[in-house]
A and B are shown apart, each in its own frame.
Chain A
Amino acid sequence: MSLLEVTDLRVSFPTADGVVQAVRGVSFSVEPGRTLGIVGESGSGKTVLTQSLLGLTPGGQISGQAMFDGVNLVGLGTKEMQRIRGKEIAVIFQDPLTSLHPLYKVGWQISEMIRAHDKSVTKAQGIERATELLGRVGIPRPRERVNDYPHQFSGGMRQRAMIAMAISLSPKLIIADEPTTALDATVQAQILDLLLRLQQESDTALLMITHDLGVVADIADNVMVMYAGRAAEKASKRDIFYEPHHPYTKGLLESIPHSSAAGERLRPITGQPPSLINLPSGCAFHPRCAYVMDRCLGDQPNLIPVGDAGEHRSACYLPAAAIGLSEQVEELRKQAVEMGRSGASAKVAEAIAAAPESEGSVIA
């Protein structure tokens, strides 16, 4: 049974300019001891999605279901949520400097987290636990460091302290929101290794939100690619990287510089992500998609099984067999596009072909 089962989650924010549809019907599940990577660009809704699970989106209108260990997180009262948040589900944010209080000692902050959930722990016991945890996440001389303030820690050590806080109550699920984005490559490698080691020790489920496909390639088991508040593609890590189906996933993979083709021209995705207030009709990706067909303008594709079998799902009208990056598959895509394209979509395709590397018009 899944630890977390999210079904048709929708989050929107009413604003003066209109309703921001941040998450538009996303479903996924996370198993104990496994890592789900959620990938997407700025504004794809990946952060709002996870924050809404924890009741951290004030003003947001949430619908759908999120069953965590038998409890529906959507619509949960403040008291119950406080009991789950931190204890059952822990969060690691991107920027440890703003997530740690600058005026309290690191050890005190970890201890406070423990004491907030278990009143029987004394202050001294809390600090003792904090010291132990700092040692466990690889902070040297934890007995001295427990009395340091956050500014006395380096960026990597602060993120370690955040992880110590996250694992302090042995949560069943850790949500890591871009945990290594602010860190250097060598420190990032340390932190990712630490997260994996802790996960293996305690069978914790990990929800890893990132824009960095390299991080996902490294530590995820399954991947969900998000675009404009919806899941574009869901699959195992290998399927996403080697057998992508959705043109957006393919576009993302092709826009990263690759060592095998250094100096060659990159192939960016045309245009920029849409405004979540005024979404394109049909498939939200169609104004940027080189494979746009007539259907894409009117109908919104749902996730359907693609590829041979198994768990690979994609929200795209291209043939289910069109997975991967090979020439033959490209041919298959082209054939499908030829069949499915006439008047309206041909115009969109022309516009994309005319300026393949422009960012399009101004949002305002």
Chain B
Amino acid sequence: MTDSLAGNAVSDAPPDMSDDTLVRVDNLVKYFPVKGSGMIGRTVSHVQAVDGVSLTVKRGQTLGLVGETGCGKSTLARCIAGLIPATSGKVYFEGKDITNLPRGTMRPYRREIQMIFQDPYGSLNPRRRVGSIIGEPFAIHKTATGPQRKKAVQDLMERVGLNPEHYNRFPAEFSGGQRQRIGVARALALRPKLIICDEPVSALDVSIQAQVLNLLADLQDDFGLSYLFIAHDLEVVRHVSDAVTVMYLGRVAEFGPGDQVYDHARHPYSAALLSAAPAADPDAAAARQRIILTGDVPSPINPPSGCRFHPRCPKAQDRCGIDEPALESKAGDPITHLTACHFPVETGEVLARADRREQR
């Protein structure tokens, strides 16, 4: 429905699964039921968290996923990792359909797909020692025991920049950045092929954030990792990503190589999002035409018809409220740059509704 690359094919044999594709998501849908009141609440409606998203993650590359709170990016990540079942659609890992596999069949894939979470405080058990937290994957998958496991854990700690002698410490004895390194070490333990990073540096100070981003880049080079990198900080996503997907209200608004999306955004939402991101440069901030969007993101329980962005879009016309735009390459764009919009932003077009406030 929204992916012209995939050609709407949702057959058993995934088409054109070329060798450099690690993960392909086809038309993934995740609805959460909304229960009515009462003891035995009946499902009265659904939160349409992810509604027909397709994307690919290439081997050794990073796919950035941006979008605002509630756009479904974390839900999508959890569906890909198999942490929550998808309502419909397919997830292919190395060409194999891993959508909603039973627990036992899924287990080998869980080794290949790991997650790093946002909150380095909440995602580590405070009552367990660091060695046992990082060694847990070995225990679950029974790949290393006893002294062998300790050695493996200490190697991991060293690799992510932690002192291996701190094997017996508790998470509380580490700073935020160090805890995030513990999370990275744990994700790395089973040598996964894909690491899903859900806002991995959002809780960290800038100087520490740079340390962790460099670590992730080094690990990618050393182990040939692929990342699905979710963050709300657009500069961070641009820095790490080869390709970027912009999501709005459960759907993909725009997809393309990082430079394309950032420098030639075609979807009005991407353009607004990029123009709103604060730049740490006073002249750039003053010169920028900021597109101030009106209103809030609508509820995903009852999303707008047609293009989901149309009620807030400065370019919306009648058609946008009726026809849902397909995600396709627009005239003049490279074939890899896809936009779901009837009236994409043209080069040099000024979308700013109001003039930037007076310069002081």
Contacts and interface: CB of A to CB of B under 8 A. Distances in A.
A256 B258 CA distance: 18
A238 B286 CA distance: 11
Contact of B276 (A189, A237, A251): A189
B161 A213 contact: no
Contacts of B297: 154
Contacts of A361: 163
A266 B296 contact: no
A357 B276 CA distance: 31
B139 interface: no
Contact of B69 (A184, A251, A359): A184
B282 A357 contact: no
Given A211-B206, A272-B208, A357 B161 contact: yes
A200 B235 CA distance: 30
Contacts, number: 153
A1 interface: no
A14 interface: no
Interface stretch (A69-77, A169-177, A214-222): A214-222
Given A268-B211, A362-B173, A257 B282 contact: no
Interface of B is mostly: helix
A253 B68 CA distance: 25
B211 A214 contact: no
A258 B235 contact: yes
A217 B211 contact: no
Nearest to B215: A357
A263 interface: yes
B260 interface: no
A298 interface: no
B214 A268 contact: yes
A186 B278 contact: no
A101 interface: no
A272 B280 contact: no
A227 to B, nearest CB: 10
Instruction: Please indicate which of the listed interface residues A187, A215, A218 has the most CB atoms of chain B within 10 Å of its own CB.
Output: A218
A157 interface: yes
A267 to B, nearest CB: 7
Contacts of B234: 185
Contacts of B292: 186, 189-190, 193
A339 interface: no
Nearest to A263: B239
Contacts of B178: 359, 362
A358 to B, nearest CB: 5
Nearest to A213: B280
B121 interface: no
Interface in B61-99: 68-69
Contacts of B258: 262
B141 interface: no
A193 B169 CA distance: 46
Contact of B280 (A214, A263, A359): A214
Interface in B151-170: 161, 163, 166, 169
A197 B280 contact: no
A188 B276 contact: yes
B233 to A, nearest CB: 8
Given A255-B207, A257-B236, A214 B278 contact: yes
A41 B210 CA distance: 13
B130 to A, nearest CB: 10
A241 B282 contact: yes
A155 B214 CA distance: 32
Interface of A: 41-42, 140, 154-157, 184-190, 193, 196-197, 200, 211-218, 221, 237-238, 241-242, 251-253, 255-259, 262-263, 265-269, 272-273, 357-359, 361-364
Given A184-B68, A218-B279, A241-B282, 13 more contacts: A41-B207, A41-B208, A184-B69, A213-B206, A214-B277, A241-B280, A253-B280, A258-B235, A262-B238, A272-B175, A272-B208, A362-B173, A363-B174
- Across the A-B interface, give the 3 residue pairs with the lowest CB-CB distance, nearest first: A214-B278, A268-B210, A257-B239
21 contacts: A42-B205, A185-B232, A185-B277, A186-B272, A189-B278, A211-B205, A213-B206, A213-B280, A214-B285, A216-B280, A221-B360, A255-B209, A256-B206, A257-B235, A259-B279, A263-B240, A268-B208, A268-B214, A269-B207, A359-B175, A362-B174
